[in-house]
Amino acid sequence: MLRTLPLLCLLFPALSQAQLPFIDYGFLADDPSVLVNSVAIQPDGKILVGGAFQNYGGTDLDNLVRLNPDGSIDPTFNPGGTGPGNAVEDMVRMPDGRILICGNFLTYNGANSYFIARLLADGTLDNTFNVQPNSINGAVWAIELHDAHKVIAGGEFFTCSGHSRPHIVRFNDNGSVDTTFVVGTGFNHNVHELLVLPDLRIVVGGQFGLYNGTPTGHIALLSPGGPIDMSMDNDPGLGSSGGTVRALARQPDGRILAGGYFQYHNGQPRSAIERLNIDGTHDMGFSSPFYPYSMVRAIAVQPDGKLVVGGEFTSPEYANMQGGPERLVRLNADGTRDLSFDIGTGLGLGSQPTAYAHAVALQPDGKIIVGGHFETVDSETQYHQLVRLFGSAANGMEELTAAGGLVAWNDGAGALWLRTDQQASSTATVELHDLTGRLLHAQPLRTGSSPQRMQAPARAGLYLVSVVDEGRRVTTRVVVE
């Protein structure tokens, strides 16, 4: 069956040139029902998706699923299981293929698994890692692998297995509390993000203002053994009423990116995203593009140094009243907006009262997977909570705009039909391309108002149907299912 997507409206090339769509329509993932919190890409290209969703794609899998590179469900992951009993907040893949997950769940595949689980590569529970029932008294929001398969966890908890561990703890390889990781009185509020550095020091972000009695505003650097590393000075740090750090990332040069809800860093105006030197000082080569009350939830650093940033910001929440895409943007290395990343209006509300991007993952081929809570991507309404985007124009072709419309549809019998109301010359042609820009078929455009037939491609996917006339191009999109 062929399904026609909304018409791509075009104007004359003398007026504008625009890139072809950034959405990867070949990513055929089902819509998670409520929320995606975390996305992790495996070396084989498969994609782990965690969040709050039920019965994903009719598989009975809840809150965690693995997708094939094309977005289809990987049936070899956790076969016969239901997964976590509640939301997955964070996850990390270990070098040996096992997977650490954390969140607000108490069971995995029906077995006790309090807030943290370690899975085998096939998604089944690794029973050699045991965090005992009732041993943690609050949800775990962040998890990271530390030295020698030890596990760092942060969240809203205060105790773990009878040990006082306010908001941060390290577990041994078997799931017991590592008592050599010394936290003292710990953090005075929730931890939301963890980042392990190459030297095993740990950057921590969250709602806190103190660590073991030392002032550190929403971001702290810990030594590998747990005590605070005073070489990073964040007093007063990142600040605002109700402030928090919700995203951390490290650049290859060692500088640290922090995103969240804040308006100041060490008393100077810095909004929603900040780049720090490892000593905690502001990087003078970076400026936030956001209005003071924006929220950043995800940061991914591209190999070229550009930053893909997601959150809750809307178009009016860019600095200097410079409107931009909502909830997702790409920044240049200095924090200015990368205008070549044209995703239209961005991620939208749809029928929901709120929307945000919560996870951004970069594929080796440059594609970008975005997860969160949203119901539209620019003008497209079929993408809820999960979408894959091209890192650059979909196929490098330019859409040259011309007056007149083009509509394509199917007859259910393997044929495409198209109709255009533009005036065309006798040399005008109709072209069919795939998203790589490869020309699959071309034929003369028949003049007149009656529909014209074109043979449909045999493989499922998104295709571009264009009318080309004297250097002008009008394009619409058709999905083959």
Give the span between the Cα atoms of 360 and 11, in whole angstroms: 33
> Angle CA(119)–CA(124)–CA(128) in degrees, nearest 5?
55
Residues 39, 33 contacting (CB under 8 angstroms): no
Question: Both tokens of residue 440?
Answer: 């699959």
| 123 is a domain residue | yes
| 421 is a domain residue | yes
Distances (CA, A) of 431 to 191, 279, 445: 54, 57, 9
Residues 202 and 262 in one domain: yes
Question: Both tokens of residue 64?
Answer: 């965690």
Residues of the chain below pLDDT 70: 1-21, 393-405, 410-412, 435-437, 471, 481
Residues 239, 211 contacting (CB under 8 angstroms): no
Residues 330 and 472 in one domain: no
Give the span between the Cα atoms of 254 and 266, in whole angstroms: 20
Give the span between the Cα atoms of 9 and 406, in whole angstroms: 9
Residues 406 and 442 in one domain: yes
| 18 is a domain residue | no
- Chain CA centroid to CA 77, Å: 21
Structural domain ending residue among the three candidates 346, 366, 389: 389
Residues 326 and 464 in one domain: no
Cis ω before 236 (30° cut-off from 0):
yes
Residues 299 and 359 in one domain: yes
Model pLDDT for residues 346-395, shown as the tens digit of each residue? 999 988 899 999 999 999 999 999 999 999 998 888 899 999 999 875 43
| 356 is a domain residue | yes
The CATH number of whichever domain residue 456 belongs to comes to 2.60.40.3080
Give the span between the Cα atoms of 122 and 23, in whole angstroms: 30
Residue by residue, what is the 3-state secondary structure of 113-143?
A: CCCEEEECCCCCECCCCCCCCCCECCCEEEE
Residues 352 and 421 in one domain: no
* Sequential DSSP letters for 18-71: EEPP-B-TT--PPPPSSEEEEEEE-TTS-EEEEEE-SSGGGS---SEEEE-TTS
Distances (CA, A) of 263 to 50, 207, 240, 465: 30, 14, 6, 47
Amino acid 403: pLDDT: 35
Amino acid 253: pLDDT: 95
Q: How many domains does the chain have?
A: 2
Question: Both tokens of residue 345?
Answer: 């209006």
- Among the listed residues 6, 5, 4, 20, the one whose alpha carbon sits nearest the alpha carbon of residue 473: 20
Q: Which residue range is the domain that position 45 belongs to?
A: 23-389
Amino acid 15: pLDDT: 25
Question: Both tokens of residue 220?
Answer: 């702290």
Give the span between the Cα atoms of 375 and 360, in whole angstroms: 16
Structural domain ending residue among the three candidates 360, 389, 418: 389
Residues 417 and 340 in one domain: no
Amino acid 335: pLDDT: 97
| 15 is a domain residue | no
Residues 410 and 297 in one domain: no
Amino acid 393: pLDDT: 54
Phi, psi of 371 (to 5 degrees): -125, 155
Phi, psi of 58 (to 5 degrees): 75, 20
Residues 25, 479 contacting (CB under 8 angstroms): yes
Q: Which residues pair with 358 in a beta bridge?
A: none
Residues 303 and 171 in one domain: yes
Residues 32, 384 contacting (CB under 8 angstroms): yes
Distances (CA, A) of 311 to 230, 287, 328, 334, 359: 30, 17, 7, 19, 9
The per-residue pLDDT of the chain, averaged, comes to: 88
Residues 426 and 370 in one domain: no
Structural domain ending residue among the three candidates 359, 389, 419: 389
Residues 223 and 176 in one domain: yes
The CATH number of whichever domain residue 358 belongs to comes to 2.130.10.10
| 254 is a domain residue | yes
| 214 is a domain residue | yes
| 198 is a domain residue | yes
Residues 377 and 299 in one domain: yes
Counting beta carbons within 10 angstroms of the beta carbon of residue 115, is it exposed (0 to 12), middle (13 to 18) or buried (19 or more)?
Answer: buried
Amino acid 54: pLDDT: 95
